[in-house]
Chains A and B, each alone.
Chain A
């Protein structure tokens, strides 16, 4: 079966040369540790117990280990768009963050070509500042130079459509509607070109016309980016953008193959669950 091999994707135009890998995940384990759970649920005695027993068994000390991603291996190549699917809490976003180098892995290694970046700048923006200053701040936070920001500023504002209903870009972001804020955030994030681009459910923001523009922008980003990873619960957007899919379930990689095959199995799995 084609989907059982590690890299069964239909080869791109130049099948002659060995395809260039951009992301290699080698038996990756990711574990979160959460304080204040377990028997005592964060009570004072449990905390004390945790301190006194430091270095002993973590479980006894009230630290819960959440094994979010288990022994996942895959190779992504240049020019591929890969969809990550799986039910909620299956470790998709966690895996994406680890590929971006933002979460340390417990075991195994993730090798990347250049610096993969997550599409998203939400955390760097401040709602008390004007949209204009947030464009600058977000751009700098993503590592753009001041000249680049100046150059693309008008594009970002035009793309977000913030100023379509009046001069909103000079108002603080806290005065924006949630849709407007989401559109501005996406526009800032999408303004930069990336080697390896990781997108986490970004397609679901804004109204219909903005969604169409975002999809077009993502296709454009794909052209410049070596490889695109897309996490989404919308099977259609995965179908439209990706030719290969990884299916994660409970942190394990259940399937890796052409989007159609994987989605068929996945839809059978989720449909099956609904009947129960």
Chain B
């Protein structure tokens, strides 16, 4: 080191507690302290326009360089579904015994993709946006929630494609389609909760983002996205099929199939399915929110 520092001029350092007392006398508060839960919720609500604008902006920016532009919003999920149809439906033959296999598969893929991309985006919500976190004040939970909202918007585009497919293969329009709405709301809350948990973990340990694709792929294969849990667990122990059927991803996928496909009747759903789906949503939503909030003031440290 070339420069030699001369001794700094002596500073008059105030005695312990003097400054704290001065701050207290004038009602100053600690900068960057974590607000209480109700205050945090209120801050989040005040930023709702930012959350939606950020989600929409991300979604629009995603394909703005592509020639086909926003058409990819629909093309990407369709191509995905085509690949799975070729591998699982045609080559491996999981379509045997499943009525309306194409809608069955496409619904599964789209609904699963919603959960998968929400969680992946959530994992990087803080660690991938440190610039934003270090420059501006906002409740940090806005980020994972905003990313989940972006995925929800993406899913709504996919649903348009899905409905076209369903009508093409001759599934009739029915009133039960309206059930898709509550199912989506529950799934969104669940996704947001899990995203917030992973956002905190990913903020502390960015390595999680490398690990998640493997965990998510395992989860996808056990969730009956491209095969029927109902059919394949007939001869298996009861505990195993219960475990598979009540895993949240499988629940949300089955609810959506139940809502949209008339040949997928209530007999294929496990008992108390709405209760279980709501339970997962509430547990993940509230638990994830509290877990994320507890580390609010630490986000942004290098």
Q: A residues bordering B, Cβ < 8 Å?
A: 1, 3-6, 20-27, 32-34, 73, 75, 97-104, 109-113, 115-118, 120-124, 126, 128-129, 133, 136-137, 140-143, 145-146, 172, 249-250, 252-256, 273, 276
Within 8 A of A (CB), among B6-34: 8-14, 19-20, 22-23, 26-33
Known contacts A24-B22, A254-B8, A129 near B136 by CB under 8 Å: no
Q: Do the beta carbons of A140 and B31 come within 8 Å of each other? A: no
How far, in angstroms, from A50 to B2 measured CA to CA in the complex? 33
Q: Do the beta carbons of A4 and B31 come within 8 Å of each other? A: no
Nearest chain B residue, comparing its CB with the CB of A116: B31
Q: Do the beta carbons of B300 and A102 come within 8 Å of each other? A: yes
Minimum C-beta distance from A32 to chain B (A): 5
Chain B residue total in the interface (Cβ 8 A): 48
User: Does B91 lie at the interface of the complex (its beta carbon under 8 Å from any beta carbon of A)?
Assistant: no
**Of the candidates A22, A102, A126, which one forms a contact with B61 in the assembled complex, judged by CB atoms under 8 Å apart?**
A126
Nearest chain A residue, comparing its CB with the CB of B6: A269
Q: Do the beta carbons of B31 and A99 come within 8 Å of each other? A: yes
**Of the candidates B3, B9, B23, which one forms a contact with A254 in the assembled complex, judged by CB atoms under 8 Å apart?**
B9
Q: Do the beta carbons of A133 and B57 come within 8 Å of each other? A: yes
Q: Which of B5, B53, B136, B138 has the most CB of A within 10 A?
A: B136
Q: Do the beta carbons of A97 and B50 come within 8 Å of each other? A: no
Known contacts A103-B301, A104-B32, A5 near B12 by CB under 8 Å: yes
Q: Do the beta carbons of B19 and A118 come within 8 Å of each other? A: no
Nearest chain B residue, comparing its CB with the CB of A19: B26
A-B contact pairs, 30 of them (CB 8 A): A1-B9, A6-B11, A23-B31, A27-B13, A73-B14, A75-B22, A97-B134, A99-B31, A101-B33, A102-B135, A102-B300, A104-B298, A110-B32, A111-B19, A111-B28, A111-B30, A112-B29, A112-B31, A116-B31, A123-B134, A123-B136, A129-B57, A133-B57, A136-B53, A140-B53, A140-B54, A141-B54, A249-B5, A252-B8, A276-B3
Residues of A within 8 A of B27 (CB): 113
User: Does B65 lie at the interface of the complex (its beta carbon under 8 Å from any beta carbon of A)?
Assistant: yes
Q: Mark B20-56, 1 if CB is under 8 A from A, else 0.
A: 1011001111111100000000000011011001100
How far, in angstroms, from A142 to B135 measured CA to CA in the complex? 10
Q: B residues bordering A, Cβ < 8 Å?
A: 2-3, 5, 8-14, 19-20, 22-23, 26-33, 46-47, 49-50, 53-54, 57-58, 60-61, 64-65, 129, 131-138, 297-298, 300-302
Q: A6-B11, A118-B135, A143-B47 are in contact. List 7 more A-B contacts (CB 8 A).
A: A4-B9, A32-B301, A34-B302, A101-B32, A110-B30, A143-B46, A145-B49
Known contacts A102-B133, A104-B298, A24 near B49 by CB under 8 Å: no
Q: Do the beta carbons of A112 and B28 come within 8 Å of each other? A: yes
Q: Do the beta carbons of B298 and A102 come within 8 Å of each other? A: no
Nearest chain A residue, comparing its CB with the CB of B54: A137
Q: Do the beta carbons of B137 and A117 come within 8 Å of each other? A: yes
Closest 10 CB pairs of A and B: A101-B32, A111-B23, A123-B131, A111-B28, A101-B31, A128-B61, A26-B19, A140-B50, A123-B132, A128-B64
Q: Do the beta carbons of A143 and B138 come within 8 Å of each other? A: yes
Minimum C-beta distance from B142 to chain A (A): 9
How far, in angstroms, from A75 to B171 measured CA to CA in the complex? 71
**Of the candidates A33, A75, A121, which one forms a contact with B19 in the assembled complex, judged by CB atoms under 8 Å apart?**
A75
Q: Do the beta carbons of A253 and B11 come within 8 Å of each other? A: yes
